[in-house]
Amino acid sequence: MYKLFWAKSMGSMAAEVLFEEIGTEYEKIAVDLEKEENRSAEFLAVNPTGQIPALILPDGTVMTESAAMVLHICDRHPEAKLAPPAGSPESARFQRWLMFMAATLYSTDQRLYYADRMTTDAAGTAGIEAAARAAMDRHFALMDDALNPGPYLLGETYSAADVYLWMLAKWHPDDKQLFADNPRIAKLVDLVEARPAVAKVWAENRED
């Protein structure tokens, strides 16, 4: 069985959704990131950085990095058709945007919400936050363009890349503005969130 170390509204949501979509069994192990003492020795042995998510595969192999988990889960469960066939043009598009989101959009969230970790000068955090927000909005605009004609990143075909974009959109500090500026993302979020697997995961992860 898969063992997923998770915390609410974190990068673990992507793996959770995929497991629910596939219908495979997995164990969720909560980690309270607000309390250092709750980062158990078991968790730190799995991921010494103390970051979420971390995943133990059924054979005991350890994975970190949410996008890597997405790729592995899709490869391990091809019957779910959450990723295009390897080597296909659709696969190239799928990998391109998944990696762009993981390397570029995800990092803007880190800079925006954890600006204090990005500098040794406390007076510099406001500038880091402002730059991160501007970059975030530019990158979401690129994702909105990538959804043309949509409604998904692979056109009419839903995939794990759409789950990843949904997750990142849920982290935006002003989703009303995000959706007003990026109507294709707004449509995708509605479509993805209407899926039972996604609705279940979001109900367990939302903070409000």
Residue 105's CATH number: 1.20.1050.10
pLDDT digits (tens, 9 = 90+) for 97-140: 999 999 999 999 888 888 788 888 787 788 888 888 999 999 99
Do 69 and 116 belong to one domain? Answer: no
Structural domain including 114 reads 89-195
Nearest CA-CA partner of 31 in 63, 60, 8, 57 = 8
Q: How many domains does one find in the chain?
A: 2
Do 145 and 67 belong to one domain? Answer: no
CATH code of the domain covering residue 16:
3.40.30.10
Supply the pTM of this predicted model. 0.94
Residue 67 lies in a domain: yes
Given 80, 97, 112, which residue is the final one in a domain? 80
The list of the chain residues with pLDDT below 50 reads none
Q: What pLDDT does 35 receive?
A: 61
Q: What pLDDT does 37 receive?
A: 52
Do 142 and 169 belong to one domain? Answer: yes
Distances (CA, A) of 164 to 12, 58, 102: 10, 23, 8
Residue 140 lies in a domain: yes
Q: What pLDDT does 159 receive?
A: 98
Residue 115 lies in a domain: yes
Neighbour tally for 199: CB within 10 Å = 14
Do 101 and 191 belong to one domain? Answer: yes
Question: Which of left, alpha, beta for 23 (phi over 0: left; psi -120 to 50: alpha)?
Answer: left
Residue 19 lies in a domain: yes
Do 103 and 187 belong to one domain? Answer: yes
How far apart (Å, rounded) are the C-alpha atoms in residues 117 and 160? Answer: 30
Do 188 and 95 belong to one domain? Answer: yes
Do 21 and 119 belong to one domain? Answer: no
Sign of the Cα pseudo-torsion (142, 145, 151, 155, in order):
negative
Residue 200 lies in a domain: no
Residue 207 lies in a domain: no
Q: What pLDDT does 132 receive?
A: 87
